[in-house]
Structure 1
Amino acid sequence: MVALLVLGVVLLLGALLLLSLALRTDEESAGVNRSLAVLETMGQAPKELRAELDLPFADRVIAPLRARALTVGRRISGSDAGERLRRRLDAAGNPPGWTVDRMVSGKVLFGVLGLILGVAIAALFQIGPLTGVVVALAGLLVGFFGPDLYLYQRTYDRNERLQRDLPDAIDLLTISVEAGLGFDAAVQQVAVKTHGPLADEFTRMLREMQLGQGRSEALRGLAERCTVDDVRAFVSAMVQADGFGIPIAQVLRIQAGEMRIKRRQRAETRAQQVPVKITVPLIFFILPCLFVVVMGPALLHSMDSFSRR
């Protein structure tokens, strides 16, 4: 009886031991599975991080900065700033990569960069607080208005080129129309045979006409994009000739004569400005050199004579 009781206790203990081992094995396998899942997740996470790090520097850093700068620029700009910038970009010939959004964000970024550069210069040269503030503000203003100055210079150079190329283009138009070509075909000949901003504007005008825009509207668009008075006068004459049915060849001949007269007058005006413009370098740079060359030997000889006495 006692032996049976002992045997039962042993079997019960053995069953409990086997049950505990089985539970421990299940827990260990579950723990291993969880560890494997964690390791797998940790192995996948760096791939996503590497995917972000594999992006170009412009997409990771510059693009977010540009987006924030664009938001700030739109807040500090007026409601019609976008339209004004678009007209200025058209007047500058729409430089490659220059858009209204990039212009606004670039002004803010360059302003911040100029401010940081001004503060760095003030700290490097140990400038006083008031002067340092002035230098920092100057850097801010230069950086903020730098793109505007560059765009103004591009517009000025382009207008000079337009004014210089317009008489030759009108002569070529006149010859083409008198040879029997229509106005559109003559404009296409000018756009193909010449190079420069005027040829680009003629090409754009032809594309607008091919898209269904009327000739008068395309010519007015050309006048709006160009701020040169001669171009606008030419466009106005062409629009009036198209509206009243005046022969194009006659109008072009008159315009060619007027443009040649204006070009000669501009050349004479610049020639008359030369004596006035050369006065300053003549007084401050040329005359002192002449005085040194002419009076120098006499002065040295006089000093030598007085020293011997």
Structure 2
Amino acid sequence: MPDSLLLVVLLVALAAGAIVLTVASLIKPERSRMVANLHRGERAVVVDAPEASRSTLGSLAQRLTPAPLISLLTRQHARAGRPAQWPVERLLTLKLVWLPVGIALLCLLAAVQAPPILTLLIGIAAIVIYFLPELLLVSRGQERDQRIQRQLADTLDQMMIAVEAGLGFDGAMSRAAANGTGALSEELTRTLQDMRMGRSRREAFTDLADRNQVVDLRRFVRAILQADAYGISVSDVLRSQADEMRLKRRQRAEEKAQQVPVKVLMPLMLCILPVLFIVVMTPAVLQMMETFGSL
């Protein structure tokens, strides 16, 4: 039994190491494949690798994984900015490799009659590791959406100034994308490159809205498409959208400022008030103890 427990501990340590390596690889800062394509001047889309260059395990993972799961992982990967070091094929391979390892680990724990609490913890860890790529991609996608939302108002101001100065809408968007450095400039550059490759403005902007979950960006895309369809002045649309984005940004800042007292209340009650109560009441308690002790 001690040898079996030692083996279980070793396997648990290996599983923990796999978690740490996976998290470190996924969350470390890196240039996305989209950014690399933009700097090379290529179309910023992810093209599937040729069949000869794919690993056998990666091809097997794609064949064994259900199509809805591949589609979901692809959308999450695009929303996260398409991390170059973790393409969809590699994530599917990771999930395919870990599935039999987790099942074998649980079977080993059952064979050595490990404590139920240990089996439960290992089972939870195995499930977390299996869904870890999705969790990290969702987290990175949410952070990227927040960056796009913060940059949208300033970008629309730049586009409005460029249009009023005499540039066309595409030229204004190209100028704003060239001057920007964040996720929004990457998305605008990709949209422009899609149009240069022959796609219509409606198709390119529809893909821009589908790639992102930012509500304000989707509203801007709908306004531009409606202006393009009905012949509305683009400068007026940009001015109204920029004013609305600035107003919403100010409202979000005020909302967060109003949430600060509520968020501070719990740490104040649990951490600061007990210590303050002890500091204030300890001398009085000691004085009372000394007085009653002398009586």
Q: What is the TM-score normalised by the length of structure 1?
A: 0.71
Match of 2:97 among 102, 109, 119: 109
Higher gyration radius (CA): 1
Which residue of 39, 44, 60 maps to 1:71?
60
Which of 64, 70, 87 is residue 82 of structure 1 equivalent to? 70
Q: One-letter code of the match for 1:166?
A: L
Q: Alpha-carbon deviations, 1:175-213, whole Å to 9, x = none?
A: 111111111111111111111110110111111111111
The alpha-carbon distance between structure 1 residues 144 and 183, as it changes in their structure 2 partners (threshold 3 A), is same
Paired residue for 1:249? 235
Shift of 1:86: 1.3
- Of residues 71, 83, 86 in structure 2, which corresponds to 1:95? 83
Question: Which structure carries more relative contact order (alpha carbon 8 Å, separation 6+)?
Answer: 2
Matching of residue 226 in structure 1 with residue 215 in structure 2: no
The CA RMSD over aligned residues, in Å, is 2.5
Q: Distance in 1 between matches of 2:114 and 2:292?
A: 51
Secondary structure, in 3 states, of the residue corresponding to 2:67? coil
Task: State the distance in 1 between where 2:269 and 2:191 align.
Answer: 50
- Matches of 2:236 and 2:82 in 1, distance apart? 34
Unaligned runs of 5+ in 2: 1-54
Give the TM-score of the pair, scaled to structure 2. Answer: 0.74
2: CA distance between counterparts of 1:285 and 1:91? 39
**Corresponding residue for residue 270 of structure 1:** 256
Q: 2:120 aligns with which of 131, 134, 139?
A: 134
SS in 2 for 1:301: helix
How does 1:42-191 map onto structure 2 within 5 Å? 67-68=56-57, 71=60, 74-75=63-64, 77-110=65-98, 128-191=114-177
Q: Pick closer, same or farther for the CA change 1:301–1:73 going to 2, 3 Å.
A: farther
| SS in structure 2 at match of 1:213 | coil
Alpha-carbon distance in 1 for matches of 2:96, 2:204: 35
Cα deviation for residue 128 of structure 1 reads 4.1
TM-superposed CA distance for 1:111, in Å, is 5.0
Does the Cα contact within 8 Å between 1:113 and 1:143 map onto a contact in 2? no
One-letter code of the match for 1:245? G
Q: Paired residue for 1:58?
A: none
- Which of these residues, 189, 192, 195, is aligned with residue 209 of structure 1? 195
Q: Cα distance, 1:170 vs. partner?
A: 0.5
Match of 1:298 among 271, 284, 294: 284
Distance 1:67 1:308 in 2: 86
Instruction: Quickly say closer, same or farther: Cα 1:69–1:295, change in 2 above 3 A.
Output: farther
Instruction: Classify the secondary structure of the residue corresponding to 2:131.
Output: helix
Shift of 1:74: 4.6
Q: Please give the alpha-carbon distance, in whole angstroms, between the structure 1 residues aligned to 2:156 and 2:236.
A: 12
Secondary structure of 1:97's aligned partner: coil
| Identity within the alignment, % | 42
Note the C-alpha offset of 1:114.
Answer: 6.2
In structure 2, distance between residues paired with 1:212 and 1:290: 68
Q: Is contact 1:112-1:143 (8 Å) kept?
A: no
The Cα of 1:221 is off from its aligned counterpart by 0.8
Other-structure match for 1:30: none
CA distance in 2, matches of 1:93, 1:268: 29
C-alpha distance in structure 2 between counterparts of 1:116 and 1:169, whole Å:
52
Q: Which structure has greater helix proportion?
A: 1
Secondary structure in 2 aligned to 1:80?
Answer: helix
